[in-house]
């Protein structure tokens, strides 16, 4: 059964909005306008992000399908895989990679998610999104991400990644693609090490992207269109 059922996601949005109203009321009652106001703004930002993610997932279906090659490749990832903030999502690295490798790609990219991070909706960690990929039965799976796990302990991220990889033990080729060194995130060395260790434990290829140099959009987190193309080239060269 598909993980992203529209009714489930809309219910999640309603719960977030209700929570925001409760928080707002508590803030006013306590008179803590400054600190509480920040909490309310964060909750409302999450609501907006969750609604945007819901609309994106409902519009694309279970996957974004790219290419017509014989090899079936699934990509599980975050906003980088989704092409978020690009003027044209088809300029994202997943499209360039499909063309370079001659694959048929099935991409499940959801912004602000990761191995431990449930994203704007709070429940879209990578481990919750495996059913469609298992049903697809790809020849190769690429798990991209880690930026949104920044702030979590190395042990927590490694445990989540290890558990995820074990669930894909039946997939012939699994590639773990780590985070880039985005200026807007800190602590990425630990994330890189955690993912590398989990991949090694499960005898899977790990590609570290921390040393790669890119240009970023003004948020200092997402890649420019040209850097998406460069990212695709670097990934293609590393895959074995």
On whether residue 152 sits in a domain, the answer given is: yes
Residue 49 lies in a domain: yes
Instruction: Using pLDDT thresholds of 50, 70 and 90, give the confidence band for residue 58.
Output: very high
pLDDT, average across residues 59-77:
97
Q: Is the pLDDT of residue 115 over 70?
A: yes
Task: Based on the fold, state whether residues 27 and 95 are members of the same structural domain.
Answer: no
Please report, for the domain that includes residue 204, its CATH number: 3.40.50.1110
Is the same domain home to 118 and 154? yes
Of residues 123 and 16, more confidently modeled: 123
Residues 184 and 81 in one domain: yes
Domain co-membership, 145 together with 39: no
Rounded to two decimals, the pTM is 0.84
> Is the domain of 152 the same as that of 109?
yes
Report the pLDDT averaged over residues 173-191: 98
pLDDT digits (tens, 9 = 90+) for 131-143: 999 999 999 999 9
Structural domain range at position 95: 62-238
**Does residue 173 or residue 36 have the better pLDDT?**
173
Check whether residue 54 and residue 67 sit in a common domain: no
Q: In the predicted model, what is the mean pLDDT of residues 170-199?
A: 98
* Res 74 pLDDT > 60: yes
- The count of domains in the chain is 2
Domain match, 67 and 166 both: yes
pLDDT at 44 over 80: no
Q: Of residues 47 and 31, which shows the higher confidence score?
A: 47
pLDDT of residue 117: 98
Residue 174 has pLDDT above 90, yes or no: yes
> Which pLDDT score, from 0 to 100, does residue 35 have?
56
Residue 1: inside a domain: no
**Could you tell me if 92 and 155 lie in one domain?**
yes
Supply the pLDDT for residue 29: 45
| Maximum alpha-carbon separation in the chain | 62
User: Are the CB atoms for 138 and 106 separated by under 8 Å?
Assistant: yes
Is pLDDT above 90 for 19?
A: no
More confident residue, 116 or 10: 116
Q: Which of 17, 34, 58 is the last residue of a domain?
A: 58
Mark whether 51 and 164 lie in a shared domain.
no
> In this predicted structure, what is the pLDDT of residue 45?
76
pLDDT bracket for residue 13 (50, 70, 90): very low
C-alpha to C-alpha distance for 67 and 106, rounded to whole angstroms = 9
Quick one: 28 and 128 in the same domain? no
Out of 36, 58, 80, pick the residue that ends a domain.
Answer: 58
Verify that 80 and 171 share a domain, yes or no: yes
Nearest by Cα to 232 from 219, 217, 214: 214
Whether residue 50 is found in the same domain as residue 70: no
Per-residue pLDDT for 84 more than 90?
A: yes
pLDDT exceeds 70 at position 47: yes
| Residue 39 within a domain | yes
CA 177, 229, 104, 78 torsion-angle sign = positive
Lowest mean per-residue pLDDT among 41-45, 149-153, 206-210: 41-45
């Amino acid at each position: 059964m598909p993980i992203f059922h529209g009714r489930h996601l809309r219910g999640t949005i309603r719960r977030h909005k209700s929570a925001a109203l409760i928080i707002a009321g508590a803030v006013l009652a306590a008179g803590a306008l400054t600190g509480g106001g920040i909490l309310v703004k964060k909750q409302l930002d999450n609501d907006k992000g969750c609604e945007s993610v819901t609309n994106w997932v409902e519009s694309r279906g279970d996957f974004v399908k790219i290419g017509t090659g014989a090899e079936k490749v699934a990509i599980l990832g975050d906003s980088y895989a989704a092409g978020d903030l690009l003027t044209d999502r088809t300029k994202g690295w997943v499209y360039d990679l499909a063309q370079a490798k001659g694959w048929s790609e099935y991409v499940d990219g959801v912004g602000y998610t990761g191995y431990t991070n449930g994203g704007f909706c709070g429940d879209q960690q990578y481990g919750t999104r495996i059913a469609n990929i298992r049903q697809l039965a790809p020849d190769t799976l690429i798990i991209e991400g880690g930026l949104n796990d920044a702030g979590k302990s190395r042990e927590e991220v490694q445990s989540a990644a290890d558990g995820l990889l074990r669930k894909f033990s039946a997939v012939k080729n699994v590639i773990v693609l780590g985070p880039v060194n985005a200026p807007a995130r800190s602590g990425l060395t630990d994330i890189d090490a955690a993912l590398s260790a989990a991949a090694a434990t499960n005898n899977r290829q790990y590609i570290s992207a921390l040393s790669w140099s890119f240009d970023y959009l003004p948020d200092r987190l997402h890649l420019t269109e040209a850097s998406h193309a460069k990212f695709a080239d670097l990934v293609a060269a590393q895959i074995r």
